[in-house]
Amino acid sequence: MGNKSLIGEFFQFIKIRRSWWLLPILIMLLLVGVLIIFGQSSGLSSIIYALF
């Protein structure tokens, strides 16, 4: 085959197995990860704190 990325293999797995219910879980995990990363920076932490 070829050298596929992890994301490409994951989407191929979802397409073949018809596991579309995994996409919302993955999206929410990515959003939480992005919030954690940006929450540690000093400029955006006050804005993120105000959201919650």
3-state secondary structure 13-43: HHHHHCCCCHHHHHHHHHHHHHHHHHHCCHH
- Residue 7 domain-assigned (yes or no): no
CB distance 43 to 49 below 8 Å: no
**Domain count within the chain:** 1
- Residue 1 domain-assigned (yes or no): no
Taking each helix axis from N to C end, the angle separating 22-39 and 42-51, rounded to the nearest 10 degrees, works out to 130
Task: Write out the residue range of the structural domain in which residue 51 sits.
Answer: 20-52
For the whole prediction, is pTM greater than 0.75?
A: no
- Residue 12 domain-assigned (yes or no): no
* Residue ranges in the chain whose pLDDT is less than 70: 1-3, 41-42, 44-45, 48
pLDDT digits (tens, 9 = 90+) for 18-27: 888 888 888 9
- Residue 24 domain-assigned (yes or no): yes
- Residue 8 domain-assigned (yes or no): no
